[in-house]
Amino acid sequence: MTEITPTGCCPPFDPTPWDDQIIEWYNKLFIKDRVFCLFNMPVNFGKVMTRIMSKADKHGATVPDAMCLSDHASAWNMNVFVAVDKKIPDLKTVKITGKFYCRVYEGDFRKTGEWISDFKKTSSEKHFSTGKMYMWYTTCPKCAKIYGKNYVVILSKIK
């Protein structure tokens, strides 16, 4: 196995600790913001992320696991939740608590519908009653191309 050289943009992602796992968070801190979408396609994602990350950097905050969860609220907007290690002035912060079932998928974003169907089927087979679902796009398209893998994690709160 060859070592992956980080791009300086998105860190390489190791799917092992996330695939087919249950994680538990207690008051995990996130910055919450909104991205405009056009028929589910994010339009200003880069601009929103640049703004969030520059404020996080300015206040010395880090983003554990480079985690940014997406909640596709409608065809017109998507909520983003960026994990941080401390509150940042002038940005909305939320705390997320609960047990979450996670699955990692790899491939082109066009497979998202298949991934969601598989996730729901697998969750049901494991007798998980799922709730709120988040998508974690672990790398930007440019870094995914460089790394040769496009990992996406689906997380859903389990009851």
Domain count, the chain: 1
In a domain, 4, yes or no: no
- Residue 119, number of CB atoms within 10 A of its CB: 20
CA-CA distance, 46 to 35, in Å (whole number)?
9
Q: What is the pLDDT of residues 91-119, one digit of tens each?
A: 899 999 999 999 999 998 888 889 999 99
Residues 107 and 115: their CA atoms lie apart, in Å, by 10
Position 13 in a domain: no
* 11 within some domain: no
At a CB cut-off of 8 Å and minimum separation 6, what does 52 contact?
31, 33, 80, 82, 91
pTM, to two decimals: 0.89
Q: Is residue 105 a part of any domain in this protein? A: yes
Does residue 27 sit within a domain? yes
Position 48 scores a pLDDT of 92
Q: How far apart are CA 61 and CA 5, in angstroms?
A: 24
Q: Residue 8 falls within a domain, yes or no?
A: no
In a domain, 137, yes or no: yes
Q: Is 50 a member of any domain?
A: yes
| Segments of the chain with pLDDT less than 50 | 1
Q: Domain range for residue 32?
A: 21-158
- CATH number, residue 95: 3.20.80.10
